[in-house]
Structure 1
Amino acid sequence: MQHRTVFEVMTHDVVTADPGTPFKVIAHLFAEHDISAVPVIDENRRILGVVSEADLLRATAELPDLEGRWAGVRLLSEERGMPDAETAADLMTSPAVAAQSSWSLVETARTMHRKGVKRLPVADETGRLAGIVSRSDLLKPFLRRDSAIRDEIAHDVLVGTMRLAPEAISVSVAEGVVNLTGHVDERADIPVIVRLCRWVDGVVALHESINYTYDNLALDVEQPR
């Protein structure tokens, strides 16, 4: 049983900027490619930061950043003699939050949620830009057919991994919701089965009605001979 990594769902052909890319060029990139952020990379494709639409707006409208600090580049330039934000180097959020190409979709989704971002640049094992992943990319596994989900659970999880007889547990899937019905010898197998099935790509929810012969979770029950 294999689980998708972020490498399998990310966009590989990435629109990028270098540190010297002008403000207006970045704005044109957003409009031309219908995107809302670009990774900023050096000559070796190492990720230096990310420029988003929010970064452009903050630079022109003098809005606070996500942590409540005033980014107001134009305001600062007037009061302190600092230059306006003219290039990607001035605008970008750095260091960039990046995913690793080997990350699971769950790990990637958690990072996006924790950092409050809609997309992440993806780095390969050398730290170079490999792609970019968005929230919509992470939802791609949920487009799997119910029949494909059912076959993976029945064959790969229950028979292949758990070594159960094919008739031990019945599997049905409707709109990504899995129902398991059947019987196992040991009660301790049930939470393992549930956990493995939930890991299958495309599973929205899981319900089980599995009986058992031996309650090996109860310490006062002697295992039958």
Structure 2
Amino acid sequence: MHKRTVADVMTRTVVTARPDTGFAELVRLMTEHSVSALPVTDASGGVVGVVSEADLLAKESARADGAPHSLRALLRRHADKTRAAGTVAAELMSSPAVTTTEHTPVTTAARLMSEHRVKRLPVVTADGVLTGVVSRSDLLGVFLRGDDAIAEEIRHEVFERSLDTPADRVGVTVHDGQVTLDGTVERRSWVPIAAALSERVDGVVSVHNRLGWSWDDTGVTIPEAMVVDIRHEPRP
């Protein structure tokens, strides 16, 4: 079963800034290329930070009148004022940058974005060299797979390949990424396995499991007399 990674959805042509890129040039680059953030790279292509629209807008927000109403607001105002004094990327960027790799599963990358509240992640090699960028829209595209494609992958990869169950013994219906499983599998223990494997298919939003089984293997125990210790040679 192919699990999509960042490499499958990332953008490889990236607009970047250098640490000495000036404020006006940063604004121009973002506007001209319709991006909300720019990776900042050094001479070797390593990512040293990210400068975003929010970083640039801090220059304006720091000028706002009115006293802060909490300690948190006071600290934020101080950080904004400090950043607003910057005139080049090195002074305005967020550093170190939150990055990912090409081999990262898209679900992990999405979680990383959510945890750090960022919209884009620079994609880097093991040495930290920039190879691309992945955005929220890139990751959301995974969940826009057609229902027919999702159903076919579940039938083939989950039932036929993983559980050795002919596709005509089960029913797989998908509507807007919501999967319903019905039909019969050989063993009761396979029912939760089928659901878990289906949930891992790209594009699946939820799984409603109605599967039945031919044999309840969950209550089977092996008599002690039948247990064989395979760590030693059998006694004569």
TM range (shorter): 0.7 to 0.9
Structure possessing the higher radius of gyration over alpha carbons: 2
Report what 1:71 is aligned to: 79
SS of residue paired to 1:72: helix
Report what 2:100 is aligned to: 99
Deviation at residue 207 of structure 1 after TM alignment: 0.9
Report what 1:56 is aligned to: 56
Contact 2:62 2:77 in 1 (8 A): no
* 1:120-199 paired onto structure 2 within 5 Å: 120-199=121-200
Deviation at residue 60 of structure 1 after TM alignment: 3.6
Structure 2 Cα separation of the partners of residues 210 and 69 of structure 1: 57
Contact 1:149 1:202 in 2 (8 A): yes
RMSD: 2.1
After superposition, the Cα gap between the structure-2 partners of 1:47 and 1:190, relative to the gap in structure 1 and judged at 3 Å, is same
Give unmatched runs, 5+ long, in structure 1. Answer: 78-83
- 1:16 matches 2:24: no
Structure 2 Cα separation of the partners of residues 171 and 140 of structure 1: 22
Q: Return 23-32 or 184-193, whichever deviates more.
A: 184-193
Structure 1 Cα separation of the partners of residues 96 and 214 of structure 2: 55
Structure 1 Cα separation of the partners of residues 181 and 193 of structure 2: 13
Deviation at residue 209 of structure 1 after TM alignment: 0.5
Q: Percent identity?
A: 41
Q: Return 119-128 or 45-54, whichever deviates more.
A: 119-128
Report what 1:90 is aligned to: 91
Contact 2:151 2:174 in 1 (8 A): yes
SS of residue paired to 1:13: coil
| Letter of the structure 2 residue corresponding to residue 51 of structure 1 | V
Report what 2:33 is aligned to: 33
| Letter of the structure 1 residue corresponding to residue 49 of structure 2 | G
After superposition, the Cα gap between the structure-2 partners of 1:111 and 1:186, relative to the gap in structure 1 and judged at 3 Å, is same
After superposition, the Cα gap between the structure-2 partners of 1:141 and 1:72, relative to the gap in structure 1 and judged at 3 Å, is closer
Structure 1 Cα separation of the partners of residues 107 and 78 of structure 2: 33
Deviation at residue 155 of structure 1 after TM alignment: 1.1
Q: After the TM superposition, which parts of structure 1 deviate over 3 Å for at least 4 consecutive aligned residues? A: 213-218
Residue-pair matches, total? 213
Report what 2:2 is aligned to: 2
| Letter of the structure 2 residue corresponding to residue 183 of structure 1 | T
Structure 2 Cα separation of the partners of residues 49 and 133 of structure 1: 15
SS of residue paired to 2:151: helix
After superposition, the Cα gap between the structure-2 partners of 1:145 and 1:60, relative to the gap in structure 1 and judged at 3 Å, is same
Deviation at residue 216 of structure 1 after TM alignment: 3.4
Structure 2 Cα separation of the partners of residues 45 and 54 of structure 1: 24
SS of residue paired to 1:217: coil
